[in-house]
Structure 1
Amino acid sequence: AAAATAAAAAGEGAAPPPPPPTAVPTKLVAAAESLAAANGDDVTYLIPLLGSLSAERVRVLLPQLVAQPLEVFRVALDRLMYAPPLPLSAADILIALHDVDPARDKVPLKRLIESCGECFERPAAFPPEALAAALQKMVEYTPLPLLFMRTVIQAESAAPTLREFILGLLRTLARRQVWKMDPKIWEGFMRCAKRATPRSFPVLCEMPAAPLQEMLAKFPALREPLRAYASAPAVAPGIPRAIAALLAGDASTLNPKP
């Protein structure tokens, strides 16, 4: 019956399904590039063809796209994510956005923050696995991207399934001595770790006493629940002496801050 229906539809002149999208001719891309160059490198001429550009070319253009009004960037992002062929994966786009440097690329920080935020407005295009892939790669960068911790916090809010993964990021950052990094990164780590309590307590207890003391000074309400965790019979034997003393209120045992 289905075959007969299909045959009847074909006999009635039904149009065949459209072919899958393909890259536009290179001559058209070259013409658009020339037009953009002739108009002061106006990147908006290239937005309709973003899906046909190379990955490297898209990365080069990204700071200019971020600098555009937000509604223009939204169109560009949708073109990159929803109009195959896609030159960059979702994870690659998120990483490339974090590679934009406001000072070097002359992009307002507010615009960069808004542009990164637009990714979280598109959960179908930026699913949890794409967020995790991007964050896992960026967490090893030196230095960390300026907005890294902000994105970590946004990712946890947007994708609660990433909570354990983000706890792993906190462990990695503690191993990398995040307290010695940019103050904004350290601030973001402290806020993220606070949001993750009590799951983050083991990570906090593995930190040196001095940075933990700084965190407790910033968030004094953490001291009592952290002390209760560290003094539990199953946990206490593995707690470093300096951490136990800090939580007990004995500052005399602390080492100077690194």
Structure 2
Amino acid sequence: YEEYIFADVRKRHDLAFAWLYQEYVYANGYLSILDPNKKKDFTKYDDTLCRLLEYLQEKPDQRDGLFSRLLTSAPLITDNALLVLKRYCQDETRSYLGMNTLRDLIFRRMNMREKFLDILLDFTHNENISVRNNAIRIAKSLHDKEEFKQPIERHALQFLKHLTAAQPPEALFGEDKKASTIPSDTWTEDSIRLCLPLYLSLMPSNHHLIQPLATIYTAVNGDIKRVILRVLEIPVRGMGMNSPELLKLVENCPKGAETLITRIIHILTEQAPPSPALVEKVRDLYHKRVSDVRFLIPVLTGLDKKEIISALPKLIKLTQPVVKEVFNRLLGLNTSSETSHASPILPFELLIALHQISSEECELKTVMNAATLCLNERAIYTHDVLAIVIQQLVDINPIPVLFMRTVLQALSFYPKMVGFVMNILQRLITKQAWKQARIWEGFIKCCQKTRPHSFPLLLQLPPPQLKHVFQTAPELRDGLIRHIRSMSMAQRSLIPSSMLTVIEDNSENVAPEIRIQTIPTTTSSMEQ
């Protein structure tokens, strides 16, 4: 009848089950009336069970669940049958049903529950992602039940602690893993990742697990730290920024876990504005324990304007990509309408604050680079915004060193601002800009760039300053002479003789056709 059953096990599964139970009865010696002392022999039973399982394993159609039914109904599950089950679970096309079978066995076979649970948990570190995810799916569902919480967490923590060892544990490279990862004396990214998935998957519903993770993080090497930082996103998002355990971790940041905390805060604030509770914890951490300004970046929009301005000198000293991120957050760039949050500092206020950073707080070049990053955001720093910035900067005394650089950049971006810039240059003359070397240097460059619009302004300079302009930019003399020659006689007569002396002081080097020979040298009405 064996051949008859195996000819079509699916249609004759009732016979197959009866056959298996018969072999179990024989193995137990229940029918051995003549020799009651005969030892139990499950060899035939084991062979029958494994043959049936292997037959069902080889057949692709598993919709009737016969493989699972056979295992859950078998009177005894032998070690060899477990090996068949493990192979079944490792087949990614069957792992879903295989893990479900393990779950059913865990619930139904109390005497073997621990063994089945160990097999399931072992699969949560399998190299095959489909196998691993199916095992984690079942482990998470079991973890919701009180009787399984401790053993599952204990297993997850055990593998997390493996990361503190000098080399990966043999448990990652067992024969039944079928891992392509070759056993190694050193940690690789693949072996590091295999220790983490179960633990991380439990965190969103079990927030207390974040604390041991931080402790382990402080004890591992840099390579392992980097992998941990890369795989944190999903579990941390699942916890959310209002998690008491996360807030507690931020508040009591373990020494050596600073980069972990920073990464966690970044993840929490990438898609949502920082909560008041998170801002408060980060603020306290920064002011009382860890004065690393990078902690503030994720919660910048939750700080007040004064705090942001105070932190700017430190923030702009960071690497350019980080500074770019700072400005993106403050200017509301790269955020959707759902996640955007009103910045406590307006764009024009930010640029003005950068100009007011002193050389004692930060090198000039660093401030220049930061200001340029802002100005390059043309959609934010429009013609009108830059006009407000320049108008307010020119009223500061002393005028900020980078003022004229910003004026020149604004003019380069928006040439139609030339009329506005001429008014600013006129203000600079009244403020005696030549008393500040950098401002005066920028003034002359601006006059060069805006000619012929700047020629009337040059005539408003005191003679000594005009002479210095010509010494710095000789080409402005020729242009100014042409401008004067285009003026009416009445207009020329208003030019003081002292000014004309400066203008013609180098007239031998001026082309004959543009010399001011026709300008009267008599005392003008302005000199009377």
Q: Same fold (TM over 0.5)?
A: yes
TM-score by length of 1: 0.83
Indicate the residue corresponding to 1:153 in structure 2: 408
Unaligned runs of 5+ in 1: 1-20, 254-258
Out of 297, 316, 323, the residue aligned to residue 47 of structure 1 is: 297
Structure 1 residue 84, shift from structure 2 partner: 2.6
**Counterparts of 2:412 and 2:499, CA distance in 1:** 30
Q: Aligned AA for 2:363?
A: P
| Pair 1:215–1:187, CA change in 2 (3 A) | same
Structure 1 residue 51, shift from structure 2 partner: 1.3
| Superimposed CA distance per residue, residues 35-94 of structure 1 (whole angstroms, 9 cap, x where no aligned partner) | 334663111111111112111111111111111111111100010001431111111111
Out of 302, 311, 324, the residue aligned to residue 61 of structure 1 is: 311
Q: Which piece of structure 1 moves more, 154-163 or 144-153?
A: 154-163
Indicate the residue corresponding to 2:396 in structure 1: 141
Out of 490, 497, 502, the residue aligned to residue 241 of structure 1 is: 497
Contact in 2 for aligned 1:22/1:85 (Cα 8 Å): no
**Counterparts of 2:369 and 2:305, CA distance in 1:** 22
Contact in 1 for aligned 2:309/2:353 (Cα 8 Å): yes
Structure number with the bigger relative contact order (C-alpha 8 A, sep ≥ 6) is: 1
Indicate the residue corresponding to 1:126 in structure 2: 381
Does the residue aligned with 2:493 lie in a helix, a strand or coil? helix
Contact in 1 for aligned 2:433/2:440 (Cα 8 Å): yes
Does the residue aligned with 1:123 lie in a helix, a strand or coil? coil
Q: Which piece of structure 1 moves more, 89-98 or 33-42?
A: 33-42
Indicate the residue corresponding to 1:186 in structure 2: 440
Q: Aligned AA for 1:237?
A: S
Structure 1 residue 22, shift from structure 2 partner: 8.4
1:99 aligns with 2:356: yes
Out of 455, 463, 467, the residue aligned to residue 209 of structure 1 is: 463
Indicate the residue corresponding to 1:80 in structure 2: 330
Out of 268, 274, 283, the residue aligned to residue 33 of structure 1 is: 283
Contact in 2 for aligned 1:90/1:126 (Cα 8 Å): yes
Indicate the residue corresponding to 1:200 in structure 2: 454
TM-score by length of 2: 0.42
The runs of at least 4 aligned residues of structure 1 exceeding 6 Å deviation read none
**Counterparts of 1:127 and 1:49, CA distance in 2:** 26
Q: Aligned AA for 2:483?
A: Y
Contact in 2 for aligned 1:95/1:134 (Cα 8 Å): yes
| Pair 1:250–1:73, CA change in 2 (3 A) | closer
Structure 1 residue 133, shift from structure 2 partner: 0.2
1:162 aligns with 2:417: yes
Structure 1 residue 237, shift from structure 2 partner: 2.4
Out of 428, 433, 456, the residue aligned to residue 173 of structure 1 is: 428
Q: Which piece of structure 1 moves more, 209-218 or 41-50?
A: 41-50
Contact in 1 for aligned 2:274/2:298 (Cα 8 Å): no
Does the residue aligned with 2:345 lie in a helix, a strand or coil? coil
**Counterparts of 1:46 and 1:199, CA distance in 2:** 46
Q: Aligned AA for 2:502?
A: L
**Counterparts of 1:195 and 1:51, CA distance in 2:** 39
Does the residue aligned with 2:378 lie in a helix, a strand or coil? coil
**Counterparts of 2:418 and 2:506, CA distance in 1:** 33
Structure 1 residue 249, shift from structure 2 partner: 2.0
Out of 364, 367, 370, the residue aligned to residue 112 of structure 1 is: 367
Contact in 2 for aligned 1:174/1:207 (Cα 8 Å): yes
Q: Aligned AA for 2:447?
A: A
**Counterparts of 1:210 and 1:64, CA distance in 2:** 42
1:230 aligns with 2:484: yes
Contact in 1 for aligned 2:355/2:400 (Cα 8 Å): yes
Contact in 1 for aligned 2:301/2:343 (Cα 8 Å): yes
Q: Give % identity.
A: 30
Indicate the residue corresponding to 1:256 in structure 2: none
**Counterparts of 1:69 and 1:102, CA distance in 2:** 19
Q: Aligned AA for 1:210?
A: P
| Pair 1:29–1:151, CA change in 2 (3 A) | same
**Counterparts of 2:355 and 2:481, CA distance in 1:** 37
| Pair 1:112–1:233, CA change in 2 (3 A) | closer
Indicate the residue corresponding to 1:6 in structure 2: none
Does the residue aligned with 2:381 lie in a helix, a strand or coil? coil
| Superimposed CA distance per residue, residues 105-160 of structure 1 (whole angstroms, 9 cap, x where no aligned partner) | 1x222211100110121011111111110110110111111111111111111122
Unaligned runs of 5+ in 2: 1-270, 333-339, 508-520, 522-528
**Counterparts of 1:249 and 1:141, CA distance in 2:** 36
Contact in 2 for aligned 1:94/1:116 (Cα 8 Å): yes
Does the residue aligned with 1:102 lie in a helix, a strand or coil? coil
Contact in 2 for aligned 1:36/1:44 (Cα 8 Å): no
Contact in 2 for aligned 1:128/1:162 (Cα 8 Å): yes
Indicate the residue corresponding to 1:15 in structure 2: none
Does the residue aligned with 1:153 lie in a helix, a strand or coil? helix
**Counterparts of 2:303 and 2:495, CA distance in 1:** 54
Q: Which one has the largest radius of gyration? A: 2
| Superimposed CA distance per residue, residues 11-49 of structure 1 (whole angstroms, 9 cap, x where no aligned partner) | xxxxxxxxxx98643221111112334663111111111
Contact in 2 for aligned 1:23/1:85 (Cα 8 Å): no
**Counterparts of 1:249 and 1:57, CA distance in 2:** 55
